Amino acid sequence: MKLETLVIHAGQHPDPVSGAVMTPIVLSSTFAQDGPGNHKGYDYSRSGNPTRNTLEACAAALEGAEHGFAFSSGCGATTTILHTLRPGDHVVCGDDVYGGTFRILDKVMKPMGLAATFVDMTDLARLEAAFRPETKLVWLETPSNPMLKVFDIEAVCALARARNVPVVVDNTFATPFAQQPLKLGATAVVHSTTKYLNGHSDVVGGLVMSSDAAFSERLRFLQNAIGAVPSPFDCFLVLRGLKTLAVRVQRHSENAMVLARWLEAHPDVARVYYPGLESHPQHAVVKKQMRVPGGMISFVLKAGGDGDTAARSQRFLSALKVFTCAESLGGVESLIELPAVMTHASIPAEIRAQLGIDDGLIRISVGIESVDDLRDDLSAAFETSRGA
Ligand SMILES: *Cc1c(COP(=O)(O)O)cnc(C)c1O
């Protein structure tokens, strides 16, 4: 079945007791056993819970995976995956990776003996040079955040497979509607469901999907042993949000395409980063591996009358009425932010400069409102932010 159908039906059946069409929220932490050790598949809700298992089954189907694992956050999922490795192992990771992933590798795992090298994977030669004999994992995030670089998942997986190294793809920005990394050779996919999968900015959660038997068995053990599991209520909300994933992502992407083209032609805009534009440096890879280019755009304004781009960006964000100035992304509402001051403030200024994250760079998560209202809002803020 197609994704549009799977998001609504996969893993879900009317409740056998009541006939309830929607998945019940089973809050019970423990389950009655007929006799010691003789239970109906559930004994304790950290180990397994009916609402969570339904979400995991649905999530697995969306990525074409055998197994799904739900976590309390995207970072909880990432941390649990990294516990499949051992001290002395080495990870090759994209250089423009989610800030929290960088922080886990640099501040949590490094002191525990796990080494990481951060490379720009648009250059496959640099990726090849980063492999060491002790490299045990490649961590790939595409499109990247906030520069929206796109990496060739199939090419990266081929290089890793030749060295017997598994690849984990963070598919949060693209969603399984836009790209399915397991079909391109990845061992596992990780999502922050906080973003597009839930899609309504009211859950923090994570998911991992994989068809690799050994990896999945280890992850199932670690999910229970480490215990970064989501509440049944949050699992219900993600299941509910997922039902509209296909229509939402389609609309996010259509709106973003309209705004990106309009921004690119606007006299007040210096640069636009959007995978759907022909001017995007990896546009050919985008066309090869993505069904739609997604709802995230980054851009740089031209300086206002005072010659200060960052100051104009601040005025621009404060002038908007429909866009909300906030971190996060992937909800139905349009959000806007300054990465250097907000989401990426924890990255040292010199690394931000290397990555191209100027102090005035603006990132938008395009919502599913009327694109006319979004464009009018941006247009009015261009006027008022110009300055003397
Ligand atoms: C938000 C995000 C994460 C982390 O997820 P949380 O749910 O906030 O822990 C990981 N990767 C990407 C690409 C993200 O956007």
- pLDDT of amino acid 304: 84
The per-residue pLDDT for range 283-300, each reduced to its tens digit, is: 999 999 999 999 999 999
The per-residue pLDDT for range 65-84, each reduced to its tens digit, is: 999 999 999 999 999 999 99
- pLDDT of amino acid 346: 80
Position 388 pLDDT exceeds 70 = no
Q: Please tell me whether residues 228 and 255 are part of one structural domain.
A: no
- Beta sheet of 335-337, edge-to-edge order: 269-273, 296-301, 362-365, 335-337, 324-325
Pairing assessment for the beta strands 269-273 and 206-210 based on DSSP bridges: unpaired
State yes or no: is 42 an active-site residue. Answer: no
Distance 326 CA to ligand 1 centre (A): 15
> 213 Cβ partners below 8 Å, 6+ apart?
66
Q: Mean pLDDT for the chain?
A: 96
The per-residue pLDDT for range 211-233, each reduced to its tens digit, is: 999 999 999 999 999 999 999 99
Q: Please tell me whether residues 295 and 251 are part of one structural domain.
A: yes
Q: Please tell me whether residues 73 and 134 are part of one structural domain.
A: yes
How many other CB atoms sit within 10 Å of the CB of residue 279? Answer: 11
Q: Please tell me whether residues 281 and 329 are part of one structural domain.
A: yes
Residues with CB under 6 A from ligand 1: 73-75, 98, 100-101, 141, 145, 170, 172-173, 192, 194-195, 204, 206
Q: Please tell me whether residues 186 and 250 are part of one structural domain.
A: no
Question: How many domains are contained in the chain?
Answer: 2
The per-residue pLDDT for range 293-348, each reduced to its tens digit, is: 999 999 999 988 888 999 999 999 999 999 999 999 999 999 999 999 998 888 88
Residue type, 252: H
Q: Please tell me whether residues 238 and 252 are part of one structural domain.
A: no
Q: Indicate the top mutation candidate among 75, 193, 201, 234 to test ligand 1's pocket, ranked by most ligand atoms within 8 A of CB.
A: 75
Domain containing 29 equals 3-242
CATH number of the domain where residue 88 is located: 3.40.640.10
CATH number of the domain where residue 371 is located: 3.90.1150.10
Distance 340 CA to ligand 1 centre (A): 17
Residues 4, 245: Cα–Cα separation, whole Å: 8
